[in-house]
C-alpha cells in the first residue's frame, strides 16, 4: 500500500483513453498525484502501467460512475489511502446516438446516468473536503454539442447542457471557499470516438471548423490544466470552449 | 472528557472562524456569528462528525443558535458518548 501523498490529489474519471487519458497525463506532469478511473480492471492496470512508464505519480482504479455504492466505496478508499482529491475532472462520458424519433428510453437514461447524474454525485462527494480545505477545482468535460446541438444527439446534448447549468449553480454555492467549478467544452477531437467516422463525414466536419483541423486531445488537456492551476482561481462558472472556432457562443 | 456544550462551542469556533468569547449560548449563527447558508450546512456536517450522529434536514433547519445545537446533540447523542 502506498502512503498518503503530500502532492495535490487529482481524480479523473474515464481516464483510460482519449481526452481523459491525456488530461490525466498532463495533470501528472504538472506535479499532481493522479488517480484515473476505468470501467475495467484491465483498463485500470493499463493506466497504472502508463503512469509508471512516463514517470507520473498515481494509479488507475476501477469505477463504474453509474454504480452509487461503488462510487461511495471508491472515494472512501481514495480519501483514506491517498488523501481527498483537490482536483476533480468529471470526464467519463458515453454516447447513444439516435434520431429522437428512434431513440429508446434506455438510450436517454443511460446517457443521463453517466454524463449528468454521475457528475452531480461525484462533485457532491468531493466538494465536502474541498470546502474544508478552502481549495478545490472541479472541471467538467462537456461538449460543443451542449451549446449548439447536433442531430442524433438530443440525449447527449441535453446531458451536456445540464452539466453546464449544474456547473454555474454549484460555482455560485462554493465560490466563497476558493473552490472553482468550470466546464471545458471540446469540439471535434481526434479520438477513438471520432476515428469511426467516414472520410466524407470528416470532410464535412472540417468545413465547419475555422481552424481547418480536428482538435487533439492535448488541446483539451491544456485547457483543463489551466483551470486546475492556482492561476485560475478567479475563473468560475465558465465554459471554456476548445473547438477551433466552430462555435463561439 | 469535555462536556457537550464545550464540544459544540469548539466546533462552532473552528467552523465559523470566530472568537471563543463570541460563542455564547444565546448567539445566533447567522445574526451574531456572521454565518451564511453554506456555513450553516457545514456547521451541521461538522456537528454530525463530532458527535457521530445524523441530523435530518428538517431538524437542522431548527438549529439557529448555539443553545439549540447543544440541546439537539444532548437529546440525540448515541448513548456511549452521553
What pLDDT sits at residue A193? Answer: 67
A17 is in an annotated binding site: yes
Residue B39 is assigned to a structural domain of this protein? yes
What's the pLDDT band for B78 if we cut at 50, 70, 90? low
CA distances from residue A24 to A9, A10, A19, A31, A191 in whole angstroms, order as listed: 11, 8, 9, 11, 15
Bridge partners of A89? A12, A139
What pLDDT sits at residue A4? Answer: 76
Q: Provide CB contacts within 8 A for B25, sequence distance 6+.
A: B5, B65, B66, B67, B70
Are residues A144 and A241 in contact, defined by beta-carbon separation less than 8 angstroms? Answer: yes
Residues of chain A neighbouring B42 (CB-CB closer than 8 A)? 131-132
The range of the structural domain enclosing residue B71 comes to 4-16+26-76
The enclosing domain of B38 has a CATH number of: 1.10.1200.10
Block means of pLDDT (10 residues each) for chain A, length 249 residues?
Answer: 78 96 98 98 98 97 98 97 97 96 97 98 97 96 96 97 98 97 96 78 90 96 98 98 95
Residue A202 is assigned to a structural domain of this protein? yes
Closest CA to A193 of A219, A168, A215, A170: A215
DSSP H helical segments within A6-104, as ranges?
18-29, 41-54, 68-81
The C-alpha cell 424519433 sits at: A101
Residue A224 is assigned to a structural domain of this protein? yes
On the question of pLDDT at B81 being above 60, the answer is: no
pLDDT in tens, B17-62: 999 999 999 999 999 999 998 999 999 999 999 999 999 999 999 9
Q: Is A234 tagged catalytic?
A: no
The range of the structural domain enclosing residue A83 comes to 9-242
Complex ipTM more than 0.95, yes or no: no
The number of C-beta contacts closer than 8 angstroms across A and B is 9
What pLDDT sits at residue A177? Answer: 94
Check residues B48 and B79 and name the one with the higher pLDDT: B48
Over residues B7-15, the mean pLDDT reads 95
CA angle A83, B47, B5 (to 5 degrees): 135
Residues of chain B neighbouring A131 (CB-CB closer than 8 A)? 38, 42
The number of distinct structural domains making up chain A is 1
What pLDDT sits at residue A6? Answer: 87
Residue A248 is assigned to a structural domain of this protein? no
How far, rounded to the nearest angstrom, does the alpha carbon of residue A125 sit from its chain's CA centroid?
16
State the Cα–Cα distance between residues A184 and A199, nearest whole angstrom: 27
With CB atoms and an 8 Å threshold, state whether B38 touches A131: yes
Surface-to-core class of residue A111, CB atoms within 10 Å of its CB (0-12 exposed, 13-18 middle, 19+ buried): buried
State the Cα–Cα distance between residues A31 and A5, nearest whole angstrom: 12
Nearest CA in chain A to B16: A132
Q: Does B36 touch chain A (CB under 8 A)?
A: yes
Closest CA to B81 of B51, B37, B56: B51
What the block records as the C-alpha cell of A68 is 452509487
Residue B12 is assigned to a structural domain of this protein? yes
What the block records as the C-alpha cell of A150 is 447536433
The enclosing domain of A200 has a CATH number of: 3.40.50.720
The number of distinct structural domains making up chain B is 1
Residue A2 is assigned to a structural domain of this protein? no
Amino acid at each position: 500500500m502506498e502512503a498518503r501523498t503530500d502532492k495535490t490529489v487529482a481524480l479523473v474519471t474515464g481516464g483510460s483513453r482519449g481526452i481523459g487519458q491525456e488530461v490525466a497525463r498532463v495533470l501528472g506532469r504538472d506535479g499532481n498525484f493522479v488517480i484515473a478511473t476505468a470501467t475495467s480492471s484491465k483498463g485500470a492496470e493499463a493506466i497504472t502501467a502508463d503512469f509508471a512508464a512516463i514517470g507520473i505519480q498515481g494509479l488507475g482504479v476501477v469505477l463504474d460512475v453509474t454504480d452509487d455504492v461503488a462510487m461511495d466505496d471508491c472515494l472512501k478508499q481514495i480519501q483514506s489511502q491517498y488523501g481527498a482529491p483537490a482536483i476533480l475532472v468529471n470526464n467519463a462520458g458515453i454516447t447513444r446516438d439516435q434520431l429522437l424519433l428512434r431513440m429508446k428510453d434506455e438510450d436517454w437514461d443511460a446517457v443521463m446516468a453517466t454524463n449528468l447524474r454521475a457528475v452531480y454525485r461525484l462533485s457532491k462527494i468531493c466538494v465536502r473536503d474541498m470546502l474544508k480545505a478552502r481549495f478545490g477545482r472541479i472541471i467538467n468535460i462537456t461538449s460543443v454539442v451542449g451549446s449548439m446541438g447536433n442531430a442524433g444527439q438530443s440525449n447527449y446534448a441535453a446531458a451536456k447542457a445540464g452539466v453546464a447549468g449544474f456547473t454555474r449553480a454549484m460555482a455560485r454555492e462554493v465560490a466563497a471557499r476558493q473552490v472553482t467549478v468550470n466546464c471545458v467544452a471540446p469540439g471535434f477531437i481526434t479520438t477513438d470516438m471520432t476515428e469511426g467516422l467516414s472520410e466524407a463525414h470528416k470532410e464535412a466536419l472540417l468545413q465547419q471548423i475555422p481552424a481547418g483541423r480536428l482538435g487533439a486531445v492535448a488541446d483539451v488537456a491544456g485547457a483543463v490544466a489551466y483551470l486546475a492551476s492556482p492561476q485560475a482561481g478567479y475563473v468560475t462558472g465558465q465554459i471554456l470552449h476548445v473547438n477551433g472556432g466552430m462555435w463561439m457562443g | 472528557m469535555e462536556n457537550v456544550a464545550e464540544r459544540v462551542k469548539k466546533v462552532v469556533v473552528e467552523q465559523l472562524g470566530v472568537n471563543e468569547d463570541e460563542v455564547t449560548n444565546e448567539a445566533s449563527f447567522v445574526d451574531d456569528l456572521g454565518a451564511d447558508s453554506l456555513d450553516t450546512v457545514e456547521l451541521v456536517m461538522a456537528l454530525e462528525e463530532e458527535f457521530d450522529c445524523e441530523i435530518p434536514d428538517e431538524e437542522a433547519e431548527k438549529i439557529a443558535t448555539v443553545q439549540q445545537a447543544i440541546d439537539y446533540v444532548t437529546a440525540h447523542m448515541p448513548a456511549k458518548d452521553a
